[in-house]
């Protein structure tokens, strides 16, 4: 990741790992705040979608890094928009679901 | 109809608000104040972490794409890690397009365009023939060849003219724009590869013949550094294979495979070290040519992507020759005969079929072998010996199948040398092939804006398999051959064709042929003369991707 360094590279990826703990803990805190109950597999599906979106962004920027900016923008545009839509659907289905009568 | 529960409605509806002071303290041991700040930290921190993850992914992706570590074939060469694709699940008895469909004929030296050209240029220089005398008077076997293919003769004459025009252009000022790629090419070619006779690395039997006047048949030449009475005996063919492959990587190659020597792919009438390069050699095969070690390295990616003008093959030629020379000597030291086969044209064999039979790659539309790690960007060399090895088998990674649909190289080729046929139909010496029109391809080389007016390589740069070793391309490489439905290949091809931009074939042509001297990717800064030298006025545009 950081060219020519043997330390920063690993620190960066460790930092990315730590951030994931915060993302999940933060999500639980928000759910608690709104008193929403979400099953573990629903959380896993939403987190999976988020990670997949991150991969799409990383894929697009990898292409940009390779001097394929055109391909990179299209990659994020074409694959990223479906991710946002799917994420919105998942949040609607799992978080803001209608309370059982 | 069920009432719509929009996310924003819920968030903004005051009914849904929970007052902070009504929050349930789920851990009575923690006081409210600390609990609140912990919660707020997690809530705000969680959102910030998600944003940071997204930004981090983007930044990491960009850095990975830009990094030199992604230049396949360079990073882990000495450990052999550049040959990262696991071929074992894809081994087959016969590679795609390697099943004979007719009588298999050996190639003759005049099937090799550079031997034809060398002969024609020699006749011109000696004044024994000139185009004014016509095709009928073109003497020798080269005359026979061109009388069989008069269209090729016409293109060859056109190429000679183009080459003269290109050289004139160069002398009139083109060299200024191409100062740096020219210096790079010349350093590798004449500082590294060729001496006055033709070769410095490795030793070359033709040089020895020219210097001493003594023929150097393979029975003599291939044993020249053998000092042992008896060769070292390997514990098993597997031990020999493992050792030689390890040494090949250590000596600098990226990929290596070992196979049985197959005389079907050896030129007739060609033997270096003999009078006239062995023009009268006939079809003899030296008895000790039993096994062949085939290996290769890529050309540097920046230049490959900025073909035509900023690209050189000498870069990879030089490195594959070094491996060939070192390996040849190493094998001799163990007491076995060894003969290097290496670029530019120091071969008695055609390299491509051996790359296929040793499982390094598959045949492609553009007529080159594509390997999973490097695509078409691979410059092979080989060493022939009599060691008994455990031989590699061919592979089928569906690259040839991909070519049936792809056609990007054919669409981008400036000379129209690459076939558009959906499937290969031409029978070449007994095998069905997409046939690269070598004469047309050379006509583009001859008009090229490189220092020696030789070379193009656009087809290598634009091929979807010739991509860097970044995770995104490596994932594609790994998943695509394992998908039995072919959907992944179709999806990747659709992306390649719709997301990426390529200059048109004609844009790559020299300006005097109506082109723009376009490049696929713009050259890196270190090949742009105007960036490093004083007094270079930039009178041109770069027509490639940035
Ligand atoms: S560009 Fe396409 S058709 Fe040409 S060699 Fe590469 S994969 Fe095959
Ligand atoms: S080297 Fe150039 S002219 Fe020759 S086949 Fe490739 S793209 Fe066409």
pLDDT tens figures, B316-326: 999 999 999 99
Which one of B499, B502, B522, B523 would you mutate to disrupt binding with A, by most A Cβ within 10 Å of its Cβ?
Answer: B499
A 21-40 residues with CB < 8 A to B: 22-30, 32-35
Find out whether the peptide bond into B166 is cis, omega within 30 degrees of 0: no
- Among B167, B184, B174, B169, smallest CA distance to B539 is for B174
Ligand 1: residue whose CA is nearest its atom 8: B403
Which chain B residue has the Cα nearest residue A72? Answer: B499
Interface check A55 vs B, CB under 8 A = yes
Residue B192 Cα distances to A58, B296, B310, angstroms: 40, 17, 19
* CB contact set of B519 (below 8 Å; sequence gap of 6+): B305, B306, B307, B308, B309, B310, B503, B508, B542, B543, B544
Q: Ligand 2 within 6 A of B413 CB?
A: yes
Token pair in block for residue B396: 């089928």
Question: Largest Cα–Cα distance of chain B, in whole Å?
Answer: 106
- Best residue for ligand 1 mutational test, from B304, B352, B397, B403 (most atoms within 8 Å of Cβ): B403
Cα–chain center distance at B377:
2
What is the distance between the terminal CA atoms of chain B, rounded to a whole angstrom?
Answer: 53
The ipTM (two decimal places) reads 0.92
Chain B neighbors of A98, CB-CB under 8 A? 2, 5
Query: How far A23 CA sits from the closest chain B CA (Å)?
Result: 4
Query: How far A45 CA sits from the closest chain B CA (Å)?
Result: 16
Prediction pTM value? 0.89
Chain A neighbors of B58, CB-CB under 8 A? 57-58, 60-61
- Residue B117 pLDDT > 70, yes or no? yes
Provide the pLDDT for residue B313. 93
- Best residue for ligand 1 mutational test, from B352, B363, B366 (most atoms within 8 Å of Cβ): B366
Cα–chain center distance at A28:
15
Token pair in block for residue B223: 């044993």
Between B39-43, B230-234, B521-525, the lowest mean confidence (pLDDT) is in B39-43
Which one of A5, A50, A61 would you mutate to disrupt binding with B, by most B Cβ within 10 Å of its Cβ?
Answer: A61
Cα B449–B453–B459 angle (5° rounding)? 70
Distance CA B170, CA B173 (A): 6
* Number of alpha carbons in the 13 Å side-chain half-sphere of residue B36: 8
- The number of the ligand 2 atom at minimal distance from the alpha carbon of B460 is 6
Which chain A residue has the Cα nearest residue B9? Answer: A96
- Among B362, B393, B382, B373, smallest CA distance to B295 is for B382
Distance CA B261, CA A85 (A): 58
CB within 6 Å of ligand 1 — which residues?
A: B 364-366, 376, 402-403, 406-409, 463-465
Distance CA A27, CA B39 (A): 11
Interface check A66 vs B, CB under 8 A = yes
Instruction: Please indicate whether, in this complex, the C-beta atoms of B7 and A78 are within 8 angstroms of each other.
Output: no
The whole-number average pLDDT for the span A68-81 is 94
Distance CA B395, CA B89 (A): 9
The whole-number average pLDDT for the span B10-25 is 58
Residue B1 — very low, low, confident or very high, per pLDDT cuts 50/70/90? very low
Distance CA B44, CA A29 (A): 10
Cα–chain center distance at B450:
18
DSSP state of B267: P
Instruction: Please indicate whether, in this complex, the C-beta atoms of A30 and B521 are within 8 angstroms of each other.
Output: no
Instruction: Render B59-90 in DSSP notation, one character per residue.
Output: HHHHHHHH-GGGSTTTTTGGGTTT--S--GGG
The whole-number average pLDDT for the span B130-146 is 95
- Residue B343 pLDDT > 90, yes or no? yes
- Residue B184 pLDDT > 70, yes or no? yes
Other beta carbons within 10 Å of B26: 8
Distance CA B122, CA B127 (A): 8
Instruction: Please indicate whether, in this complex, the C-beta atoms of A22 and B43 are within 8 angstroms of each other.
Output: no
- Among B544, B542, B529, B541, smallest CA distance to B175 is for B529
Q: Are B474 and B325 in contact (CB under 8 A)?
A: no
Between B7-21, B220-234, B301-315, the lowest mean confidence (pLDDT) is in B7-21
Q: Ligand 2 within 6 A of B414 CB?
A: yes
pLDDT tens figures, B84-109: 999 999 999 999 999 999 999 999 99
With pLDDT > 70 as the criterion, what percentage of chain A qualifies? 93
Instruction: Please indicate whether, in this complex, the C-beta atoms of A26 and B45 are within 8 angstroms of each other.
Output: yes
Provide the pLDDT for residue B28. 47
A 67-96 residues with CB < 8 A to B: 67-71, 74-75, 78, 88, 91-92, 95-96
Token pair in block for residue B154: 């016409």
According to DSSP, the residues that pair with B431 across neighbouring strands are B428
Which one of A8, A9, A26 would you mutate to disrupt binding with B, by most B Cβ within 10 Å of its Cβ?
Answer: A26
Q: Ligand 2 within 6 A of B456 CB?
A: yes
Provide the pLDDT for residue B322. 93
Distance CA B446, CA B394 (A): 35
Instruction: Please indicate whether, in this complex, the C-beta atoms of A57 and B54 are within 8 angstroms of each other.
Output: yes
- Residue B194 pLDDT > 90, yes or no? no
- The number of the ligand 2 atom at minimal distance from the alpha carbon of B418 is 5
* Number of alpha carbons in the 13 Å side-chain half-sphere of residue B504: 5
Q: Ligand 2 within 6 A of B155 CB?
A: no
């Amino acid at each position: 990741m950081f060219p020519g360094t043997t330390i920063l590279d690993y620190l960066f990826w460790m930092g990315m790992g730590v951030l994931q703990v915060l993302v999940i803990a933060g999500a639980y805190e928000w759910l608690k705040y709104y008193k929403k109950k979400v099953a573990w597999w629903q959380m896993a599906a939403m987190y999976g979608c988020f990670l997949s979106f991150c991969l799409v962004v990383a894929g697009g920027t990898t292409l940009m890094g390779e001097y394929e900016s055109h391909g990179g923008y299209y990659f994020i545009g074409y694959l990223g928009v479906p991710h946002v839509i799917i994420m919105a659907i998942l949040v609607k289905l799992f978080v803001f679901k209608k309370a059982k009568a | 109809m069920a009432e719509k529960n929009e996310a924003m409605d819920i968030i903004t509806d005051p009914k849904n608000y929970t007052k902070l002071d009504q929050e349930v303290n789920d851990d009575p041991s923690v006081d409210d104040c600390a609990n609140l700040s912990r919660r707020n930290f997690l809530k705000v921190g969680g959102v910030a972490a998600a944003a940071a993850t997204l930004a981090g992914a983007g930044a990491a992706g960009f850095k990975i794409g830009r990094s030199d570590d992604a230049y396949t074939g360079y990073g882990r060469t000495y450990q052999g890690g550049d040959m990262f694709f696991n071929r074992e699940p894809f081994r087959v008895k016969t590679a795609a397009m390697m099943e004979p469909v007719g009588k298999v004929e050996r190639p003759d030296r005049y099937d090799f365009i550079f031997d034809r050209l060398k002969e024609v240029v020699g006749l011109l220089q000696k004044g024994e023939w000139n185009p004014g005398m016509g095709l009928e008077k073109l003497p020798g076997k080269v005359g026979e060849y061109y009388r069989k293919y008069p269209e090729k003769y016409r293109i060859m004459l056109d190429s000679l003219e183009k080459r003269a025009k290109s050289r004139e252009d160069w002398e009139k000022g083109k060299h200024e724009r191409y100062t740096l790629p020219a210096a790079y090419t010349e350093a590798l070619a004449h500082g590294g590869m060729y001496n006055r006779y033709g070769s410095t690395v490795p030793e070359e039997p033709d040089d020895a013949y020219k210097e001493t006047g003594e023929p150097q048949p393979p029975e003599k030449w291939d044993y020249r550094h053998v000092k042992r009475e008896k060769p070292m005996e390997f514990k098993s063919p597997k031990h020999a294979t493992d050792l030689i492959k390890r040494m090949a990587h250590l000596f600098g190659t990226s990929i290596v495979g070992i196979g049985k020597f197959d005389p079907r792919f050896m030129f007739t009438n060609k033997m270096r070290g003999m009078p006239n390069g062995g023009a009268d050699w006939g079809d003899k095969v030296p008895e000790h040519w039993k096994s062949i070690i085939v290996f290769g390295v890529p050309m540097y990616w920046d230049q490959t992507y900025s073909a035509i003008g900023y690209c050189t093959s000498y870069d990879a030629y030089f490195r594959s020759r070094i491996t060939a020379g070192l390996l040849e000597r190493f094998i001799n030291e163990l007491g076995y005969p060894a003969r290097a086969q290496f670029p530019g044209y120091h071969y008695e064999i055609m390299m491509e079929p051996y790359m296929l039979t040793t499982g390094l790659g598959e045949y492609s539309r553009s007529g080159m072998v594509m390997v999973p790690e490097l695509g078409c960007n691979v410059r092979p060399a080989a060493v022939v010996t009599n060691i008994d090895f455990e031989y590699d088998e061919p592979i089928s990674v569906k690259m040839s199948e991909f070519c049936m649909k792809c056609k990007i190289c054919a669409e981008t080729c400036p000379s129209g040398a690459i076939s558009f046929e959906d499937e290969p139909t031409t029978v070449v010496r007994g095998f069905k092939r997409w046939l690269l029109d070598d004469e047309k391809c050379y006509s583009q080389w001859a008009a090229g804006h490189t220092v020696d007016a030789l070379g193009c390589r656009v087809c290598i740069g634009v091929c979807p398999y010739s991509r860097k070793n970044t995770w995104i391309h490596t994932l594609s490489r790994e998943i695509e051959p394992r998908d039995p439905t072919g959907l992944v290949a179709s999806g990747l091809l659709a992306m390649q064709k719709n997301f990426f931009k390529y200059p048109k074939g004609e844009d790559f042509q020299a300006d005097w042929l109506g082109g723009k001297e376009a490049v696929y990717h713009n050259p890196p800064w270190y090949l742009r003369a105007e960036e490093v030298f004083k007094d270079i006025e930039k009178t041109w545009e770069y027509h490639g991707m940035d």
